[in-house]
Amino acid sequence: QVQVVESGGGLVQAGGSLRLSCTASGRTFSSVAMGWFRQAPGKDSEFVAAISRWSGGSTYYADSVKGRFTISRDNAKKLVYLQMNNLKPEDSAVYFCAAKEDYSDRYFYTRRDYAYWGQGTQVTVSS
């Protein structure tokens, strides 16, 4: 069993920045690939970003956040980060961190790939 916990959400003005953090416990941190998803009210869950299991690992982004968001991880600290810059009101959502046990160097971008999920953290961007 892997426990996933996010932190760092909040309220920010359009154009501002936030950094979300996520940790996964219960497995060796370097054996889990990680991803971020988000869900706005009345909308389906949306993939945001993913990173493979290594610090400095392979990354992948949704087109809607490419160039504005950066996913990274520090395996020594057992943390994954989502740095969000130039935020827009349409980025407002609950952001979920997800973990998948993996021993390759792959990233994963579909919900069904991930077995473990955090409770989510609210990000609100005001115009």
Torsional class of 27: left (φ above 0), alpha (ψ -120 to 50), beta (otherwise): beta
Amino acid at the residue 91: D
Q: Which residue has better confidence, 57 or 5?
A: 5
Query: What is the per-residue pLDDT for 93?
Result: 98
Q: Average pLDDT over the chain, rounded to whole?
A: 96
Alpha carbon distance 99, 92 (integer Å): 22
* pLDDT at site 55: 87
pLDDT tens digits, 10-48: 999 999 999 999 999 988 999 999 999 999 999 999 999
Coil, helix or strand at residue 112: helix
